[in-house]
């Protein structure tokens, strides 16, 4: 049995990949429908959908940061003290 933290990271990664695929599928759908409908294409609705996908991406980033902070706290580290090297 895996730890809840590991399961959470896996779930976040699956959701991120699914969201990326969803964006690609929206692009593909837009391309085919835009071609078929021409000037009648509802571009504003597609932009609204992309905005919602962006909101979900931001939510996932926030949850990832929260999960990371919890893991660090349980390990006895303060989240703000850890620096990453690039």
Which DSSP state fits 41?
-
Q: Are 78 and 72 in contact (CB under 8 A)?
A: yes
Domain ranges of the chain: 4-70
53-83 pLDDT, tens digit per residue, is 999 999 999 999 999 888 877 766 665 665 5
Which DSSP state fits 21?
H
Predicted TM-score of the model (pTM):
0.77
Task: Give the separation between CA 24 and CA 47, rounded to whole angstroms.
Answer: 14
E strand or H helix at 1: none
pLDDT computed for residue 70 by the predictor: 85
């Amino acid at each position: 049995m895996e730890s809840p933290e590991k399961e959470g990271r896996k779930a976040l990664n699956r959701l991120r990949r699914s969201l990326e695929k969803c964006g690609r599928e929206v692009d593909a759908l837009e391309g085919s429908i835009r071609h078929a409908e021409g000037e009648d294409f509802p571009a504003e609705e597609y932009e609204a959908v992309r905005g919602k996908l962006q909101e979900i991406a931001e939510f996932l980033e926030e949850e990832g940061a929260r999960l990371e902070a919890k893991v660090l706290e349980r390990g006895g580290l303060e989240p703000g003290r850890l620096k990453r090297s690039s």
